[in-house]
Structure 1
Amino acid sequence: MQRLGQIRWITSALWIAVFAGILLSWWMMYSMAVDMDLDLIGRPGPMGEAMRNMDPRMDMYMPMATFGPLFGMWAVMMAAMMLPTLVPTLRAYDDLIASANGTPMGWLGVLLGYAVMWVGFAALITAVQLVLLFSGIVDMLGIATSTLFAGALLIAVGLFQFTRIKDICHGVCHSPMSYFLGHWRTGFIGGLRMGLGLGAFCVGCCWGFMALGFVGGVMSLLWMGLATLFMVVEKLPDIGRYVTKPMGVLLIVGGVAVMVAPLILKG
């Protein structure tokens, strides 16, 4: 009984650390937005507008055109947006501490494995952003310079919502307990392995909403908040499966509207 009480104290401390990490990462994103002269929805002020129009091929040092600082921004963004979506998964493992042979170290392993996969994705999308930036497809703030590209990206992510890959990945994210029961490993290393697997499925499920930052602005707190809210709702056991395809329809319609609107205005 005393050992169980000690375990609960440890897991409670871990939960506090997770929620503190979420708050810290959102505060860091807000601070970065303020430093870049952006408002809460990502609109630049005078200094931000000047930064947005800079040429990344200039000789002067520009953090948003350099891998290290840009990767740091994406890594913090992954923590801010994806840690809240991990809460149901950690809660499922928490139940197995009481009912099976789960341990606090296994819980921590799940968290770290999940984080490793999303940090890896942060490195990948950083490289993608730099390619888009130096190709002139996005500006220095990571916002698409072409309505054609923005619309096509919205449509592509919308269509992905109807694919078999999305169904498989969402099924795992939607029911982490089933994943644990089918891939159960004990201890820290076991938790790490399960966390890596869960993180891989989560990246497969949610990558599109990260990529949509190039439409809404990668530093837009409004986009970050809406995307995080949807990904959390999508993983809720009772309603998650009912929102995936309707969101796909909305994204496709939005993509078509973004592409067609300039033609209508010109006409």
Structure 2
Amino acid sequence: MDEPDDDFSNLGVPARSVAEVSGRARALVYLILTISVFLSWLFLLAMSRRAAEVDPGPGGALLLALPSLKLPDIFEAFFLMCFSPVVVPGGMTAQLIAIFVMWVLMTVAMMLPSAAPMIRTYCEIADTAAGKGEEAVSPLVLLSGYLATWFVVAFGFALLSYALLSAGVRLGEPAGYKVAAAALAVAGLYQFSGLKNACLDKCRNPFATLFARWSVDKRKIFVLGMQQGLWCVGCCWALMLVMFAVGTMNLFWMALIGIFSLVEKEVRGSLFTWIAGGILLVWAAALLVASPA
């Protein structure tokens, strides 16, 4: 295959924009992949101050030091549904939907930037194909499939959050310590698993899969995006459990997990992954020791 042009001039405007954004994200340590990431972080920043008042978690003191701003009523209602341990106006369905939206925002903010190398690789292949006069499905279709997979996972986390919320489990309380320790232990152990390493290998080398399964059928590219999303979920689902130990809207830990996930996919070898796993396991043990009776 010929070397692709850096300007992606053979792609349409929307696809070219995605390629250019993903390129800048690489240069800027993948801080933002799309406007969706920016909006997710902006909204989560506005809500994290409120979350720190309920469950501060590690780093919560820094959030509490920020000025408490009056939010629009719709945001205040959304926050109430996400963190109230009792059924709020609108019933269980409305509350579960609100928690699901919260997890969607979190997964977009944390996981989408780490998909930048995969999106960039697809754009390079698509640009080369378009330059030869061949059809190329927009990378937006691939991105949609990737996000669809994570949205399903977000719903699973939303169900777990709703169950814990309904049971009245809060950080700093005996039950909260146990849940946090369990989440950290699972996340730590998974860092040493063969499945984790297999998924990391796929995420680190997207070209082979994208090139081998190249298609001009939008449905197949959407499914390919879902498959890439599955590899990403295989890498990161356990790390997302850490949010149950630090507070589900802890902005600082969202940023840390997002950056770690990105760097982990770029660093070769298993040492970095194993070190993180060891830290999580020690943290889990410390929580059990410190847990009040």
Shorter-normalised TM-score: what interval? Answer: 0.7 to 0.9
Matched, 1:155 2:185: yes
Q: Which amino acid aligns with 1:215?
A: A
Q: Is the 8 A contact 1:144 1:215 kept in 2?
A: no
Structure 1 residues 37-79: Cα deviation after superposition (integer angstroms, max 9, x where no partner): 658944575999xx7xx87235666999810111111111111
Aligned to 1:169: 199
The partner residue of 1:204 within 202, 214, 234 is 234
Taking a change above 3 Å as real, the CA distance of residues 222 and 73 of structure 1, as seen in their structure-2 partners, is same
Q: Is the 8 A contact 1:147 1:259 kept in 2?
A: yes
Q: Is the 8 A contact 1:108 1:191 kept in 2?
A: no
Q: Tell me how far apart the structure 1 counterparts of residues 264 and 281 of structure 2 sit (CA, whole Å).
A: 18
Number of positions where the alignment pairs a residue of Structure 1 with one of Structure 2: 256
Question: Root-mean-square deviation (CA), in Å?
Answer: 3.5
Structure 1 residues 76-113: Cα deviation after superposition (integer angstroms, max 9, x where no partner): 11111111011010011122123346866341111000
What percent of counterpart residues are identical?
Answer: 27
3-state SS of 1:105 partner: coil
Q: Which amino acid aligns with 2:114?
A: T
Where does structure 2 lack aligned partners over 5 or more consecutive residues?
23-32, 71-75
Aligned to 1:224: 254
Aligned to 2:154: 122
Taking a change above 3 Å as real, the CA distance of residues 132 and 211 of structure 1, as seen in their structure-2 partners, is same
Q: Is the 8 A contact 1:64 1:70 kept in 2?
A: no
Q: Is the 8 A contact 2:9 2:127 kept in 1?
A: no
Q: Which amino acid aligns with 1:28?
A: F
Aligned to 2:176: 146
Aligned to 1:93: 122
Taking a change above 3 Å as real, the CA distance of residues 12 and 99 of structure 1, as seen in their structure-2 partners, is closer
Q: Is the 8 A contact 2:191 2:274 kept in 1?
A: yes
Matched, 1:14 2:46: no
Aligned to 1:105: 137
Query: Which stretch shows the higher mean deviation, 39-48 or 22-31?
Result: 39-48
Where does structure 1 lack aligned partners over 5 or more consecutive residues?
none
Q: Tell me how far apart the structure 1 counterparts of residues 34 and 48 of structure 2 sit (CA, whole Å).
A: 21
Q: Tell me how far apart the structure 1 counterparts of residues 252 and 10 of structure 2 sit (CA, whole Å).
A: 40
Q: Tell me how far apart the structure 1 counterparts of residues 91 and 283 of structure 2 sit (CA, whole Å).
A: 32
Taking a change above 3 Å as real, the CA distance of residues 152 and 184 of structure 1, as seen in their structure-2 partners, is same
Q: Which amino acid aligns with 1:110?
A: L
TM-score normalised by L of structure 2: 0.75
Q: Is the 8 A contact 1:109 1:190 kept in 2?
A: no
1:39-58 paired onto structure 2 within 5 Å? 41-43=59-61, 56-57=85-86
Q: Is the 8 A contact 2:15 2:140 kept in 1?
A: no
Aligned to 2:111: 82
Structure with more helix by fraction:
1
Q: Tell me how far apart the structure 1 counterparts of residues 9 and 34 of structure 2 sit (CA, whole Å).
A: 21
Q: Which amino acid aligns with 1:75?
A: V
